[in-house]
Structure 1
Amino acid sequence: MATLYEHVFDWDSYLQFGTRQFFKRKEAIYSQGTCGDGFYFLKKGLVRIVSVNASGKERILNIVIPNQLIGVQSLDQRQHFTSAIAVKDSVVYHFPCETFKALLKEHPKLVPLFSRTVIHKMKILLDRINLDTLTSEQKIALLLHNICYEFKNYEIPISQQDIAGCTGLTRITVYKVLKQWQEDGIIEIMKRKYYIKKPDFLRNLVN
């Protein structure tokens, strides 16, 4: 099962240039308002990207799954406008700006990869502007639809607790929504994994 960017570029041979870091559940990988110095590659775990408004209310912008990049928008070494929080224990590799510059010289294929990554992340950010106005069903549908898009697969490798942590909903609410969707034939639940049987339903629910 591969992500959108795994097909374009294999990061495994380049992890040696990054610094391996471990983050426990609920720990911040980087925080909104701090200055960035490079980007992160998520090797293992699950991360949610959030922003906090002036009143201190948190808004979930994205869910990051393994083999994706985090924080590429701050390669200019300015302040992060989001925070990255580990939903479960996670392993990341940090690539400082200077390391990135050296990699670009040796591996020019990184240029189009990063261009597509930044464009994709900005699109996700725009899609989340009105997240607070969504219903519980729409929040879950948006999360599952985005993971389907990233994985290019209709098998969702996260738990109900992960979904609750990423959407800000209670586990009871998540359970009720998923149970109803299972009864309606929209999803199938097998061995704690979710299989999307009607992806168009999710897409139509959030559009």
Structure 2
Amino acid sequence: MQITYSWEPFISYGQKKEIKKNTTLYSQGEIGNGFYYLHEGEIQIKMLSDKGDERIIDYISPGELLGEQGVKGEPYFTTAKTTKPSTIFFYSKEDLQTICKKHSAASDIILNSLVKKVRLLAETVSIQDSSMEHQLAHIIYKLYRKNQNPCISIDQTSLSNYIGTSRVTIYKILQQWKENEIVNITDRKIRIINVNKFQDLLY
């Protein structure tokens, strides 16, 4: 099921908000009172580990939902913060009930989006103790799958925040991949030029 932009028909049921850059929408552990749909902008998703390390685990792009667990009044399991001025729509539990009464497909969209987020968290936790190269490969491949584009727009600082290491470490790994003709690096973009070789890095 295609999730991106599938919520677009229901945006009028939500409360529209214009949010400034570096605004926290919700924090990990905070009791939720609803969920969000990103119409324009970008939102960074972070998670605090049991060891106290904060990791970036995802970036929400326009057309995606976030904070779905909040609609049940459960604690948010991540922190969401805007990285640029953004337009969002907020939906309470009551809003969702109204939508689902009129549009039965809405509940499936919410469920599929939530399942996707839970899988992402499980994947993030499962590779935390692996090598930096392995973790970096998983992050880049995740972005590749998400955007369905071998050219990933992300800087090395953001990648270092993803896996909790230094920018120098990221640089060294990427240069090694470049020498092995796995990726090409230009400006703030990483292009996978050999998908088969790159997939070998995941195992």
Fold equivalence (TM over 0.5): yes
Aligned to 2:130: 134
CA displacement at 1:172 relative to structure 2: 2.0
1:72-151 matched pairs, under 5 angstroms: 72-86=68-82, 88-91=83-86, 92-151=88-147
Aligned to 1:45: 42
1: CA distance between counterparts of 2:89 and 2:162?
Answer: 22
Percentage of identical aligned residues = 24
1: CA distance between counterparts of 2:164 and 2:18?
Answer: 26
From 61, 66, 70, the equivalent of 1:65 is 61
Report SS of the residue matched to 1:49.
strand
How high is the TM-score relative to the length of structure 1? 0.81
RMSD: 2.6
Deviation sequence 1:162-194 (CA, Å, 0-9, x none): 222333222222222222222221112245322
Aligned to 1:31: 27
CA displacement at 1:60 relative to structure 2: 4.5
CA displacement at 1:146 relative to structure 2: 0.9
Partner amino acid, structure 2, of 1:72:
E
How high is the TM-score relative to the length of structure 2? 0.83
Aligned to 1:20: 17
Show structure 1 runs of 5+ residues with no match: none
From 183, 200, 205, the equivalent of 2:201 is 205
Report SS of the residue matched to 2:17.
strand
2: CA distance between counterparts of 1:200 and 1:65?
Answer: 27
From 148, 167, 176, the equivalent of 2:172 is 176
Report SS of the residue matched to 1:128.
helix
CA displacement at 1:108 relative to structure 2: 2.0
Is 1:154–2:150 an aligned residue pair?
Answer: yes
2: CA distance between counterparts of 1:112 and 1:103?
Answer: 12
Show structure 2 runs of 5+ residues with no match: none
> Which range moves more in the overlay, 168-177 or 196-205?
196-205
Partner amino acid, structure 2, of 1:22:
I
Change (3 A) 1:24 1:134: farther
Is 1:164–2:160 an aligned residue pair?
Answer: yes
